[in-house]
A and B are shown apart, each in its own frame.
Chain A
Amino acid sequence: MTRRRSRTLVRTCLWLALSLVVMWSCREDVTAPGSCPEFCPTRLVREIDTIFAGSIVNDSAYTGYVPAYGAAWMEVVTGGSVPDSRSLIRYISFADTIEGREILSLDSFQVDLRVRSVSDPSVGLELLIYRLPVTVDTTTTFADTEPWFQDSLLVATIAVPDTIGTDSTVSAVLPLSAFPDFVADSLTVAVGVGMRGVSGGEGYAHLGTRDGGRPSLFSSWLTVVDTVPLVLDSAELDTLDLSQIPADSMVIDTIQVMDARQPDMDTYVFAGWSPPAAEALLVGSAPAWRSLLRVDLPIYVTDSSDISRATLYLVPSEPVPGAPGDTLRLRADALAADIGAKSPLLALPDTSVRGAAGVLVGSTDTVAIEVTHILKSLRVDTLLPASIMLRIIPEGGQSGQLRFWSSRNTAFAPSLHVTFIPLFPRPEPQ
């Protein structure tokens, strides 16, 4: 009996051990390093890297997208530079009372400018504030402003600090005499902003705007009538007949308050550029230009390959015009539909679908912008147009403009440099 028990126990243990081994061995762990060339299934993967000349066709440029007065930035450039950009700001009119209080006196003004970015401030830059007629508006041209940007109308100078950062505020307090027609102009103020290099240096600044959510402010410092509850000290309590004083008695006082106004119009003007070459396409400046490029790649690239990198090359037709030292941010977008100038940009949640590149003003170097995700999206959604829209970001915020040769210039036409792996014939691991 004991022997039979022990055999049963041994069998039970064996089954248990076997079961545990089987259960334990169910875990898979099969990923391992390969070794080329002996055990390297991917050694036949062909990565092709080719520049497709003539891959951009039917390209066009359009303008009118964002005017200077609707841009997120305003540009000011040191006078004497090419271009000489000036900002024009007209503020909302002040009221003759403030919160129902009587204005006793107008003391001074203050202007606050939001500087989004600035060129190297160490060269010594100054922002110049000019008094402008309140008739200035969005139709004002650069030539119209010539009489206004004179020393006689200069009301303040703001030195740009060397330590200024992005999105900073600089301010200047102005005397009443800076705007002698303030009352005659129905309590309305307009200013112009220019820039000057202290030692003759050149530079630029991008100022915030109402449309960009960073407006400049114009404030007036006022003395107004104020009333405060009557408070008596202990000596007065001893000497006065309290029965003669009503319980809710107030006393009249004066205080100084600030009344700020945002612009009702802010824009900038610049001298303009020479006409572009006949075969050139334009991107940027204000009103903003866009260029629409149609892609004509072989179908085995767009449909039957995995694109790992695609770069669009643009050859400038002339040195990139713009504020000295400035950089234009070129953006390439895919299109939801290709209907020409009004083609809607592809609104994808993944912003990586857009390529971007910096274009240095004055450069004649070939511009390279990555458009990998745009071309990859063509295989994912075959209904998307094979088109690319180029624009400068923020649109209309800079006078600078990229001018590059179109496909009509066969020697310097835009081209695509594509690195891809063909799907067919597929590499067979054998």
Chain B
Amino acid sequence: MRRCATLIALLLTVAASEAAAQVSLYGVLGVGYVGRPSGVRSRSLGSSLDAVDRESALNPAAVGDIARLTVAAASITSFRNYTVRTGTVEDLRDTRFPYALIAGVIPGTPITFAANYSIYAERSFDLVTLDTLELRGDTVFVADETSSIGAVADIRGAIGWELFSGFVVGGAVHILTGSTQDRLTRAYSDSLYTPLSHESNVSYSGFGFSAGLLYARSRKLRFGLAFRSDNSLDAVRDSIPARQTDLPMSVSGGVEYRPVPRVMFSTTVAWTSWSDAAADVAVAGTNAFDTWSFGVGAELNRGGKVPVRLGFRYAQMPFSNTPDQPREMDLALGVGFRAAGGRALFDVGMERAMRDGGGASERAWQLSLGILVLP
């Protein structure tokens, strides 16, 4: 338990720096860099377990897999570099706290519940651009720094109901909330122009629901299917309505297969209609595309002690300022540890993320740390 407490302290330390995190260069576009509702275990499997994973926030029916009170949290640290045209930026580093869960069983009923926190869209970035303006007949160089710190969080309340053995249906409501601290500064090469600084607070709100089912045909094979729809993301800047972005609906499905007890394979496929937001983001010259994502993974459990996980994920990203739709590929590797007599589970994952398209190429190492406690 002492090690458990140590890791929780470390996670809290990391969480404290979450506010300044930046996930991806692509967070500049659209509603931001769209988050993954995956726990660390599923991330290590290329998010292939999301459709049937009790820790992931994709399928509310997967909550039915919860057998007792469960608390989980995770942190992710990224080490990134990216290339835009011929310019390369290296050694970017950030840490965030993208996931938390509390779940349990309503005593005496076949109903389970879960409350999740996950990142819906990450909007943290700090970009410096240089440009020239024609002002009063002269060319004036300007240096702009645009920063946004914050994210849109997805707070999910879900219940699962085991209708009959092996068949669980679930439903969830999603409250989208969050805020960003935006700052724009502009400095001029001509000292006759005074530097500018805009600061504002943008708050976001939205609402959605999801439904799903989980079917365990046997101990070897489980299926998950989920549907989600969100209405719109309303942004209010300094108490003044700023914009509204239609949010997509999504359909996802996945399979978990255990040919032998120590080996598990999983896959999840999801489609999201991000083109619903096209008209709203087009104001800024941004294109929105529907997205497909696909993940496969395998978990090898040597004697049930330290499972080793491998995963691959391919996902399209929804926003681009060019006609080219960006996409992401992730290679993942992870392990899990048990502690405190099985009452605490620690998951560690390392991902290699490769994002390309839309005029940029981004590479990142992502270290995920997760803890799940069964009090």
Contacts and interface: CB of A to CB of B under 8 A. Distances in A.
Contacts of B242: 425-426, 428
B193 A309 contact: yes
Interface in B335-375: 348, 358-360, 367, 369
Contact of B91 (A29, A427, A429): A29
Interface in B58-110: 75, 77, 79, 82, 84-85, 87, 89, 91-95
Interface string A10-31: 0000010011011101111111
A298 to B, nearest CB: 19
A201 B186 CA distance: 50
Contacts of A38: 84, 321-322, 358-360
A30 B22 contact: yes
Interface in A29-55: 29-45, 47, 49
Contacts of A376: 194
A44 B196 CA distance: 15
A135 to B, nearest CB: 52
B198 interface: yes
Interface in A127-157: none
Nearest to A373: B194
A19 B188 contact: no
A372 B194 CA distance: 8
Interface in B278-295: 280-281, 283-286
A29 B93 contact: yes
Contacts of B188: 308
Given A33-B89, A33-B128, A42-B146, A22 B13 contact: yes
B6 A45 contact: no
A40 B360 CA distance: 12
Nearest to A428: B243
A419 B136 contact: yes
Given A21-B367, A35-B87, A37-B321, A426 B30 contact: no
Given A29-B92, A421-B196, A430 B126 contact: no
B198 A428 contact: no
Contacts of B193: 308-309, 372, 419
14 contacts: A22-B14, A22-B75, A28-B20, A28-B21, A33-B127, A35-B359, A38-B322, A39-B28, A39-B84, A42-B129, A308-B194, A429-B146, A430-B29, A430-B243
Interface of B: 3, 6, 10, 13-14, 17, 20-22, 25, 28-31, 75, 77, 79, 82, 84-85, 87, 89, 91-95, 124-131, 133, 135-136, 144-148, 184, 186, 188, 192-198, 200, 235, 237, 240, 242-243, 245, 280-281, 283-286, 319, 321-322, 348, 358-360, 367, 369
